[in-house]
Structure 1
Amino acid sequence: MGLRFEGIIPAVLLPLLLTMVLFLGPLTQVAMDCPWTFIDGVRVALDPCFWMLCLSDMRWLRNQVVAPLTEELVFRACMLPMLVPCAGPFTAIFTCPLFFGVAHFHHVIELLRFRQGTLSGIFLSAVFQFSYTAVFGAYTAFIFIRTGHLIGPVLCHSFCNYMGFPAISSALDHPQRLAVLCSYLLGVLLFLIFLFPFTDPFYYGSPTPVCSLTSSPSSLCLS
């Protein structure tokens, strides 16, 4: 289930760093628009009052702690070890996120119940959210299978919940549009370059437990 101490430090750092590389564009945009300096951000991050305020916020706890932990525990740690021996790593990576995407349909029910938008708009929103969560689920499933750790997917999930979907439209209208768009492209390029090196099972204890469940390990399970 990915609950182990072997390779825990790389499991905490590398998948999160890889995800931050993918979000290089949004992070650059936030840095440009934020009135705070880097030192101000560090001071806030080290302030116990800030974290006490976060921990007292039920919405923050749901988005940054409870949802990432419970969803990754169910859809990655519990589901993937059952799918991999039957379907293999590749099929499991793209099958598991379908359940993860469907599990987010309760947002559509809320929109319909409170009539927040037109029926077509709600339907398009549901399709978009299903697609986005399915792609994200495939990414965290890939991380889980490659690293054999649950902590990496949980931290990546929490980070993505904080960042939200990249605001492409605001990037196109940004005063420094060229720099922002270049950072978006650079982030995607670096992500593709570092995807396999940063998730190399060698750093996490090879073979990883999930990969050892299949009788014929694929390239996903090899360093």
Structure 2
Amino acid sequence: MAALGGDGLRLLSVSRPERQPESAALGGPGPGLCCWVSVFSCLSLACSYVGSLYVWKSELPRDHPAVIKRRFTSVLVVSSLSPLCVLLWRELTGIQPGTSLLTLMGFRLEGIFPAALLPLLLTMILFLGPLMQLSMDCPCDLADGLKVVLAPRSWARCLTDMRWLRNQVIAPLTEELVFRACMLPMLAPCTGLGPAVFTCPLFFGVAHFHHIFEQLRFRQSSVGSIFLSAAFQFSYTAVFGAYTAFLFIRTACVTTVQEAKESCTGGFQRA
């Protein structure tokens, strides 16, 4: 998770602006415009992330090492520039949370241990079922399995596998940065905390629909199976996105959920 704060990030604790003259208040953007700016900013981020995967013209499939390396480059560039979108959003909406950009995105050292440990334990419980099934299907016993997992040679093999690096390192880190750390701070002041938990994952789920084009291009399955697979992938990525968004908010907010929601919506009251 991107959120590393125990007392947390003032992501959604948008401080109420001081009273301004009526002319200045009337000149500022209202809640409707701010919401449109927030949604458009999130949509732009999602399109930029997915679009960066296709700036390279290639006839090779997505799992080819050369394709993976090129996509690493473009995705890392887009992800590193994504915080600039949050800065632009702050300027356009006039919302000033009173914290630094990194703190707004959930990066802070204060309270890092509970914010990192508790979500990790919860996620381990979530995946306990598949792990148990995997251990039961494995022909080797637990001791032999642990030896394989902890062997340096196994880790060295993984670190040289482009598919493993994509699925286990690059994709999770960049997705959490773009679709959680950058999008949630922009959506929450508009929708409130609860709706943001379920709205933000929609961008994350829809972003996976681009796999349809490649599967159709290489005729990897029937058309019906491809669209059914895409619908299923959208479902579980949206659900998992809601879960990670909830973890982000709970480890990143300095106040309770209700207090943070009130402070966010209160941030739109210009006068």
Range of TM-score over shorter length: 0.5 to 0.7
Q: CA RMSD in A?
A: 2.3
Matched, 1:133 2:181: no
Q: Which moved more, 1:118-127 or 1:43-52?
A: 43-52
In the superposition, relative to structure 1, how do residues 14 and 36 fare at CA in structure 2: closer, same or farther (>3 Å)? farther
In the superposition, relative to structure 1, how do residues 11 and 40 fare at CA in structure 2: closer, same or farther (>3 Å)? farther
Q: Structure 2: which amino acid aligns with 1:17?
A: L
User: 1:93, 1:144 → 2: CA distance?
Assistant: 9
Find the residue that maps to 2:116 and give its secondary structure: helix
Q: Which moved more, 1:35-44 or 1:122-131?
A: 35-44
User: 1:4, 1:49 → 2: CA distance?
Assistant: 34
Contact 1:101 1:131 in 2 (8 A): yes
Deviations 1:10-59 (A, max 9, x none): 23322122122122322221222223333333333433222211111110
Q: TM-score, with normalisation over the residues of structure 2?
A: 0.54
State the Cα distance separating 1:216 from its structure 2 match. Answer: 5.9
Question: Paired residue for 1:33, among 137, 162, 165?
Answer: 137
User: 1:61, 1:214 → 2: CA distance?
Assistant: 41
State the Cα distance separating 1:129 from its structure 2 match. Answer: 1.0
Partner of 2:172: 68
In the superposition, relative to structure 1, how do residues 109 and 213 fare at CA in structure 2: closer, same or farther (>3 Å)? same
Contact 2:201 2:238 in 1 (8 A): yes
User: 2:126, 2:142 → 1: CA distance?
Assistant: 21
In the superposition, relative to structure 1, how do residues 216 and 82 fare at CA in structure 2: closer, same or farther (>3 Å)? closer
Partner of 1:215: 263
Q: Which of structures 1 and 2 has the bigger CA Rg? A: 2
In the superposition, relative to structure 1, how do residues 38 and 11 fare at CA in structure 2: closer, same or farther (>3 Å)? farther
- Within 5 A, what are the aligned runs for 1:189-204? none
Partner of 1:147: 251
Q: Which runs of 5+ in 2 are unaligned?
A: 1-104, 266-271
Contact 1:111 1:117 in 2 (8 A): yes
Find the residue that maps to 2:263 and give its secondary structure: coil
Deviations 1:124-169 (A, max 9, x none): 1111111111111111101101112xxxxxxxxxxxxxxxxxxxxx
- Within 5 A, what are the aligned runs for 1:1-223? 1-148=105-252, 206-207=254-255, 215=263
In the superposition, relative to structure 1, how do residues 99 and 17 fare at CA in structure 2: closer, same or farther (>3 Å)? same
Count of residue pairs brought into register by the alignment: 160
Q: TM-score, with normalisation over the residues of structure 1?
A: 0.65
